[in-house]
Structure formats: C-alpha cells, structure tokens
Structure 1
C-alpha cells in the first residue's frame, strides 16, 4: 500500500510524458543495436573460437595426454612435466582436480592445435592475460587453434567452480622466441 496512492488507480492508462517516452525509445533502440552488433561482431571481430569438438572417453584422453607429455618432455617443475612440442604439432592439455597438466612451451608466431578435455568435472580454461575462455567438459575434446603473437609466461586459470581446490587450479603456457 502506498503512502499516498495515485488518484487514478489504473495507472497504465495514464499518458506517458514526452521525456519518459524518449528514454524508452532510446533504451529500446540501444538494445536493438547491441543485439545486432553481437551478431555482426561474430563476423567482423576475428575472435571466434574453433567449434571443433569431439566426444571422447575421459580415460582414453588421459592416455593421449600422458603419451604426448612423455614424447615431448624437456623438464619438470614441482612434479609437473614441461613439454616443448615442435611447431605445428597437436598439443594436449588435461584438466583435472586441481591442475592443468602439463606445462607447455610454445614458439612465438607458430600455430598449434591445442586439444583440451577434463578427466573428472567441468572446468574452465581461461588464458590470462588474453581473453580466451572455454568451458571444458569430461567426455568432450575441444580443439583450439592458437598462434602466440607475443612471448612470455601465460597463466591458465579454471574459471568454473570445480570443488574445494578450485582456487588453486592453474596451469602455464610459456611462449619463447
């Protein structure tokens, strides 16, 4: 109940003031612009991720990643293999409680097909400080074509809550000249 109710209780029949109507029209047109711009940005933005995804048995994927890491391992950091595949090679990343495995060393300006999947739960692949975000599901192998354009160390952060150790789930990609 209002403190001072309107004189005319059927408020939706009241005329709309010109200023209020202009704001309604502006908001509606802005909404239409944003809707159509999202569609246009898909074509002109050159940021679209690959839609290449396959169904896979999580245990088989773990075996593929372990074979890949063993083949191209060049070192180890804190029990995690450091892997340096040749340019153009298929690269495999595994998400599992609570790590991205292995650490990758890639060459600048070389293209790689990065395969990623989860061994257990849904995880998020967020490559920082770039703006690449993918949900990674067990049973699905996601393939991303990546061409690093600057050298340095990039962090992989899980951005989908995956349990008590979620805040510690990180990985690394190093890009060298």
Structure 2
C-alpha cells in the first residue's frame, strides 16, 4: 500500500513526502486517534492560478473486518492537524455486494464530516483503488500543521518537505 501511495497516488497529485506513521512505538503524538497510518505532504500548484497550497493528507487504513463508522471518526480526529483526511478500506471485489449496506453507512458518515473514502481490492495495486468520497479541505492553522510534521514525520521526510518549500519560493534547496 505504501508503495502505491508513494508512486502512482503521489505522481497524480505532486506530493513530496509520503510515510508510514502507524508504527512509531510509544512516541507521544497528542492523544487518542492522533496518529494516522499514513501521511502525505506536498505543495499543490495550479495551471491557471498563481497560487500554491500546502497540503497534509492523512490516511487511516482498515481491513474489511473493520468496515464501520469508527474508521471515519478516527480519520476525522487526524483532520485537526491536516488539510485532508481519508479512510482507506479494503473491500474485496468478490465480497463487495455482501457489505454494500455497511459501506453505504460509512460513505454517509464520511460525507457528513468531510472525510474522504478510498476503497481497494488489493492494497498494492493502485488500479483497484476507487475514491468514492472526496475529502473536503480543512483550513488548519499553520502552527498545527507544523507541529504535526514535527511529531509525525521522520527527519528525512521533514527535509524533503523543507526542500519542496524552498523550491516553491524560488530558492535553491540546501
């Protein structure tokens, strides 16, 4: 899944740093549901608008056995310190119809709270991913975004972010 995010998903959206953050041990992150499974950080540029947007996208990953609204609320908790929050849910094609009502309930809850939903049959195969709810942008304060990066993203990831910001300002990265 991480490779699919780092390659195809990031290429589609121009993200510079994508990391797995789920397994950081007992590292303090600010409380319950404050550590997403995956994080993507990037600068969004526009073809016809002279503006860039800094984005932090969080992902809560759930196997099919956890297809319920709690996953949406976990992702919603991440949005406090990010710009977009998603739930990535395994929905095996062969079993999708049997779980249609559960998935519909998750979609309704996600839409109500601005959380995105991506379902996948095979986590490693980006072609099986389907964004069924688009996450709404949250206007999170720069201080919270900065704190999130410092507590959740590795030093290498932080350096990649700093370099991308320098490039966006027209400076040569150090």
TM-score (norm 1): 0.29
TM-score (norm 2): 0.29
Largest Rg, 1 or 2: 1
